[in-house]
Structure 1
């Protein structure tokens, strides 16, 4: 078009721009719908969206491609469409009349026909496969439904053009408004205040709300309208609970416990995993950014790079955030589990002046969990840093009357690490040896008669750990101060960041087990690298649709799993501070009993 003197292909340019804008409308609605920390109380269905629904809706944007093709065919058959004016007030009036008088009733009756016993199992079941409505659910349908939707959209837009009142502004306004309202109805978040319907009673028949449409997905013989409940009234298909449920949901406050429409109190989560941001890139691995991306293990992708500067600014502004954010929610064995995120990135944990503020955020999250009735709070990696709060001991000592159990989960982390190591290994090299995990691993292996080369410069700390081992096992703990000492050892356990030069001392064929966050970079091609300790959740977990950092679907870090085991076992003690080596096998057996599985075949 730049090199041509005429703008003969401008219609195709408008189609391209519209596709981009329509995709943006759906994405922005998806972002809002997944911001649980903003809209948790206004959600129609509290159930989370699982991987199966995300996969079913993966190609939700097919309708954009189809409608773009239809629009192009319309232009090829009617080239005069390229000569539409920019603005025509008569076009807006005509478009509105065509929508209300033709598109709305036509959609209503087609929708009812699609719910007939013959058509539903052939064409419409796919849309109702989505258990929880989401903006992407609006575009998730069979090919026949997409064709019918093309007719619904085309009548007001192309119809207005054919009668001579069409304009570019009408095309853009109607199509974007159509998508906006479709996303609104499927958002699962009630945004209309009930007082608005009380002040303007007619409004409830002119525009539907998310609650109204969600009832159609629950009771499929009601609420068939496109956007106007008036046609459900005329067709006698209005759900009697529509307005009472809308009032109940829209009246919920931001208080921590609310009353549901059946008179019961909303259930507080049983378990909370208190996570944190690892780095700027991983902060974009959230369901309110790109839902599909968050449903797969995190990896740095090129499409994230343009967003990095904006994300960096957002992370910095989170310094002002004085409350943890609700990130995701799922159910296991009838227990409600949530992930709350401390709005701090990994690098901020290593700034001395930031420690007090971070501990204050963690403490407030624990107290809030205690106040609303949470049973267990499990702390993620940096939130239980020994130098920061002594593995959570700071909060337990400061608040001795806590009802909520504070758990660092490192006992199960140690168990996962230890059960990965083959039984025939008789020597290991351990970095981060005097850390909480390093100490427990060293003492456990010494009991197994495995020689542990503990890398530490502090003889005093080494001697303290060595004295904890049984007298007959103390000889298996050996202090070393250089990486070169392990140049013949093929089993390395990494608990402290290791540079390429330090890794170079490992002999060829070495396997690096690791519990350092973030994990070390695999520089050696002649060696193998283990991942962070993790466990697979039981198959009966529901509502889980987000991968935890680089973990696969249904897999969580071992410290997360350790908190779940604490909950499922009903243990009443806090798990903070130093790891009790005697409890490692106990926690491991309990995890296996409850269906959590390791990601390897232990030997």
Structure 2
């Protein structure tokens, strides 16, 4: 049984908890319709403050997750995993709680918002005095009490259970903790107002500044230069830093203050390493961070999918991508941001995770999917990919894997262009298609005797056809180019060449129940498949599941090993912990320590080698879980 005031009364309501804002919203609408004014009503101010507070936390979250800006300033270098994200999912409970408390306060003190002025300079002086003399010491004492054995176990341990600090961690606490914090925050506001010095600007200013400083302490990014404290030493006792608060979570018997370390100094709980560590983190921000062992060079699919990033909405990025209505109002902002990325013209660090002590990062080339099919954009795209490869080589990356369109055969020959141009590369360029082919091939039942293959003369199509014919599987290769078909057929051993058959129409597969789709097909073309057909596919984007009497496979993907750390974002439409097979192929290349480039045509003889290596390192095909 939970301790009293440890659980939230609406925790079982999930998303429906936001309906508790309904009475406030109804009051605002009523005032707007019948009183022709909403700006003077306290309900309006409470709702507006809640929205602004949520925005403050979201902006801080976005900043702390912009790894391309903050990676050298991060205090704790670990990534935030799905477990922590789920634990902090309802971080905004305190906003709802304080909105309800504010509503009750306004009923008890009706003039609270109706009679107070917009501005009162004296009120700010009084508010600051009340904060320093009452709120700061009250929080300090309460915080120390919460670290007592019983209170910590039943109330405060939740807040400290997040291994990596994040702005949302500030709101992740039990009901009792947030009630205490509401009291600490409310004393200066209520005191100033009841003494006749309150103002609307005072309420907005104090509440938003309070949230700003809370986010600052939990952001895990040191943004305060140590030079400021060297020039004005007394400031270190008046304002805490992210490093200072991070030490409290690392050594919990120290640094209990709200915002002012002065009270830790007075209470003799000041961590002796606070200033030295702050100086070190701040100084190291000018240096390059830890070099990743592996880089996956991804690209944006479209503007909507560009919103599937941790620095946009962390919770949304932790789930497989699906286009949702709430994304539509954000579309113009996403377009503007992408235009800025184009103007900046650099690859961006998107996310990272650790696997067996090796740092894996995802870099993103700021180009949309449709641009890869524009002839005049080819040179520019290849230039950005080349710059990313050279940068990886310069900083000491061991393996860089090219995602989907970044290794397009028509674009750069599956990475061959860069390897031939820079034969001295130390970083190994990998397209990962060998493992993609292995995943597709191992998903085909062993008793299948005939398959229909579209995209048959592509890099993957060729490898799949050559591999299957040696398993004595008849492959109907859909292609209009007899020359390209014959070139592939000649690569097969003489005894198996007759298993490769050229077809030019979809009607040829009307009796074949195993389709391998490497080129996008329309619902009309799917209609030629017989009932019970299973569509394996390696086409981007995936084909539409038009036939209800058929089954559709997902894109080739593999689940990362269980010991992966710091993974908190889903790779496009993949489930948690699942990456595209080409991404996994680069991971295997690194873990095996292979020293060759994997570019150009797929070496059919290595398909089984790569597959066995992937299984050896704990990667699992997603299809085997279904």
Coarse TM-score class (shorter-chain normalised) = over 0.9
Match of 1:93 in 2: 125
Structure 2 residue aligned with 1:410:
433
Displacement of 1:316? 3.4
Q: 2:156 aligns with which of 124, 146, 152?
A: 124
C-alpha distance 179-602 of structure 1, shift in aligned 2 (>3 A): closer
466, 472, 483: which is aligned to 1:449? 472
**Per-residue deviation at 1:6?**
7.8
Is residue 509–residue 526 contact of structure 1 (8 Å, CA) maintained in 2? yes
Call closer, same or farther: CA 1:601–1:4 in 2, change over 3 Å. closer
1:116-195 matched pairs, under 5 angstroms: 116-195=148-227
> How much has 1:345 moved relative to structure 2?
1.0
327-336 or 305-314, larger mean C-alpha shift: 305-314
What's the CA shift for 1:365? Answer: 1.0
- Provide the rounded CA distance (Å) in 2 between the counterparts of 1:146 and 1:163: 25
Give CA deviations for 1:544-570 in whole Å, capped at 9, x if unaligned. Answer: 000000000000000111111111111
Relative to the length of structure 1, the TM-score reads 0.97
| SS of equivalent to 2:275 | helix
Residue pair 1:95, 1:160 contacting (<8 A) in 2 also = yes
Question: Structure 2 vs 1, CA of residues 224 and 478 (structure 1 numbering), >3 Å: closer, same or farther?
Answer: same
1:494–1:168: structure 2 CA closer, same or farther, 3 Å change rule?
Answer: same
Closer/same/farther in 2, CA of residues 103 and 500 from structure 1, 3 Å limit: same
2:243 to 201, 206, 211: 211
Which residue is 2:34 aligned to? Answer: 4
Change (3 A) 1:271 1:173: same
Q: Which residue of 2 aligns with 1:261?
A: none
> Which range is displaced more, 502-511 or 84-93?
502-511
CA distance in 2: counterparts of 1:463 and 1:212, whole angstroms: 69
**Aligned partner of 2:306 among 283, 287, 298:** 283
**Distance between the aligned counterparts of 1:318 and 1:190, measured in 2?**
24
Aligned equivalent of 2:582, options 559, 562, 567 = 559
Shift, 1:252, TM fit: 2.8
Q: What's 2:21 paired with?
A: none
**Residues 28-37 or 234-243, more deviating:** 234-243
Secondary structure at 1:42's aligned position in 2?
A: coil
CA gap 1:54/1:151 in 2 versus in 1, 3 angstroms: same
The equivalent of 1:384 in structure 2 is 407
User: In 2, are the aligned partners of 1:419 and 1:602 still within 8 Å (CA)?
Assistant: no
Q: Is the 8 A contact 1:315 1:345 kept in 2?
A: no
Per-residue deviation, residues 256-311 of structure 1 (Å, max 9, x unmatched): x3xxxxxxxx5311111111111111110000000000001000011001111222
Structure-to-structure mapping, 1:174-323, within 5 angstroms: 174-255=206-287, 257=288, 266-323=289-346
Matched, 1:56 2:87: yes
Instruction: Give the whole-Å Cα distance in 2 for the aligned partners of 1:458 and 1:521.
Output: 26
Aligned to 1:394: 417
Note the C-alpha offset of 1:483. Answer: 1.4
User: What's 2:23 paired with?
Assistant: none
CA contact (8 A) 1:420 1:602 kept: no
Q: What's 2:60 paired with?
A: 29
C-alpha distance 410-521 of structure 1, shift in aligned 2 (>3 A): same
Q: Helix, strand or coil for the counterpart of 1:119?
A: helix
Question: Match of 2:555, SS?
Answer: coil
In structure 2, distance between residues paired with 1:318 and 1:79: 50
Could you tell me how far apart the structure 2 residues matched to 1:245 and 1:93 are?
33
| Superposed displacement of residue 253, structure 1 | 4.6
Match of 1:463 in 2: 486
- Corresponding residue for residue 427 of structure 1: 450
- Alignment partner for residue 545 of structure 1, among 568, 585, 589? 568
RMSD over equivalenced CA pairs, Å: 1.4
Q: Distance in 1 between matches of 2:180 and 2:553?
A: 52
Structure 1 unmatched ranges of 5 or more: 258-265
Deviations 1:212-234 (A, max 9, x none): 11111111111111000111111
Q: Distance in 1 between matches of 2:293 and 2:554?
A: 29
Pairwise CA distance, 1:313? 3.1
1:73 to 89, 104, 108: 104
Q: Partners of 2:327 and 2:169 in 1: how far apart?
A: 25
Q: In the TM superposition, what is the alpha-carbon distance from 1:443 to its structure 2 partner?
A: 0.4
Which residue does the alignment assign to 1:20? 51
Tell me how far 1:504 sits from its aligned partner. Answer: 1.9
CA distance in 2, matches of 1:460, 1:270: 42
